[in-house]
């Protein structure tokens, strides 16, 4: 059964690669360096899409990582024990919300908020997409960080207290560094989800394939481009979209591999 599963994975990679091959062969490295992506027989350049994907993911991580770790620490060490289960279940409830609901919420609530605060004509932007992504990956960050922080031996915390450390020092100098390997894993999983998120991002990013001039300009990510244009794609467009899928796969795999490397290094220390 394991071999069948492995074969399915290989078939999956081969399938995407063979679909993308005609456009890769035709456009070569221009596929990565050109910023014009025009559905309807080309030209196809994915630079803008790659940049927007990385920027939205970075924004999401900037917000979600500190808030996620802070929330996990608050659940374990700040709030009273009887409230722990309720609060952590409530935060994890966010993970059960389908991404299309986040998109809808971003359009209804965040978009209006942005229009009022930043006086933007249209609130849809890369920054808004990053914020929605941050909220989407927050439960992943909280749940995994909480799990890895919870397994740090209590003795370490008590040892730090006995040496005169305050709670903040004990948490930041003892508990978090001990759990850093697991926290790296949480960040990697969260980044993976942010990179590939489709519907919510497509709803709030504004869909613009030109190079972004600021965080508040509209854009398009690799995943949102695939989702939005798949229905109207010609045969060549399908090949170009498969090439985008391949790039997304490579970026996600690179993030995962990087995280594994970091985790291994941190674990060896």
Partner 1 sequence: MTDTMNSLNFLPPDPILERRAEIQRLSAQSLRRRQSFSRGFEFAMALALTIALIPLVSILYSLVSKGWRYLSWPFITVSRPRATRVLSSIGGIWNAVIGTIVIVGLAAIVAIPVGITIAVYLSESNGRVANALRAAVEIMTGMPSILLGVFGRRNNRHENEPSVLGYCRLLRAFDFDRAGYCEILRACTARCAPDAARGGSGTRCAFLESDAWHHFARRTTGHHHGDFVVVGPGDG
Q: In 10 A of CB 214, how many CB atoms?
A: 8
Contact between 243 and 26 under an 8 Å Cβ cutoff? The reply is: no
Q: How far is the CB of 51 from partner 1 (least distance, A)?
A: 17
236 near partner 1 (CB under 8 A) = no
Q: Which is nearer to partner 1, 19 or 178 (CB)?
A: 19
Contact between 220 and 52 under an 8 Å Cβ cutoff? The reply is: yes
156 near partner 1 (CB under 8 A) = no
Annotate each residue in 29-68 with x if it binds partner 1 (CB under 8 A) or - if it does not, as one string.
-------------------------------------xxx
Contact between 15 and 241 under an 8 Å Cβ cutoff? The reply is: no
Contacts to partner 1 from residues 92-111, by CB under 8 A:
93-105, 108-109
Tell which one of 31, 142, 149, 160 touches partner 1 (CB under 8 A). Answer: 142
Tell which one of 175, 195, 204, 220 touches partner 1 (CB under 8 A). Answer: 195
16 near partner 1 (CB under 8 A) = yes
250 near partner 1 (CB under 8 A) = no
Q: Which is nearer to partner 1, 123 or 196 (CB)?
A: 196
Nearest residue to 195 via CA among 145, 232, 140: 140
Contact between 236 and 184 under an 8 Å Cβ cutoff? The reply is: no
Tell which one of 125, 198, 217, 218 touches partner 1 (CB under 8 A). Answer: 198
Residue 234 contacts by C-beta under 8 Å, 6 or more apart in sequence?
40, 41
40 burial via Cβ count (<10 Å: 0-12, 13-18, 19+): exposed
Q: Which is nearer to partner 1, 217 or 223 (CB)?
A: 223
């Amino acid at each position: 059964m394991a071999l069948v599963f492995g074969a399915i994975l290989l078939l999956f990679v081969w399938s995407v690669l063979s679909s993308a091959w005609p456009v890769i062969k035709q456009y070569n490295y221009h596929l990565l360096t050109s910023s014009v992506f025009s559905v309807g027989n080309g030209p196809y350049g994915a630079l803008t899409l790659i940049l927007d994907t990385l920027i939205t993911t970075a924004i999401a991580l900037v917000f979600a990582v500190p808030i996620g770790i802070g929330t996990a620490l608050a659940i374990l060490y700040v709030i009273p024990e009887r409230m722990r289960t309720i609060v952590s279940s409530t935060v994890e409830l966010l993970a059960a919300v389908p991404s299309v609901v986040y998109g809808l919420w971003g359009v209804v609530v965040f978009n209006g908020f942005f229009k009022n605060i930043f006086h933007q004509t249209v609130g849809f932007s890369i920054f808004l997409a990053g914020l929605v992504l941050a909220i989407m990956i927050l439960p992943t960050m909280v749940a995994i960080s909480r799990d890895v922080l919870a397994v740090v031996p209590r003795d370490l915390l008590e040892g730090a207290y006995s040496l005169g450390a305050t709670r903040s020092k004990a948490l930041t100098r003892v508990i978090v560094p001990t759990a850093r390997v697991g926290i790296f894993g949480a960040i990697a999983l969260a980044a993976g989800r942010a990179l590939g998120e489709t519907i919510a991002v497509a709803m709030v990013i504004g869909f613009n394939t030109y190079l972004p001039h600021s965080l508040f300009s509209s854009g398009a990510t690799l995943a949102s481009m695939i989702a939005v244009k798949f229905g109207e794609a010609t045969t060549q467009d399908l090949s170009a979209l498969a090439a985008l899928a391949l790039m997304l796969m490579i970026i996600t795999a690179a993030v995962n591999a990087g995280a594994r490397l970091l985790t291994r290094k941190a674990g060896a220390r």
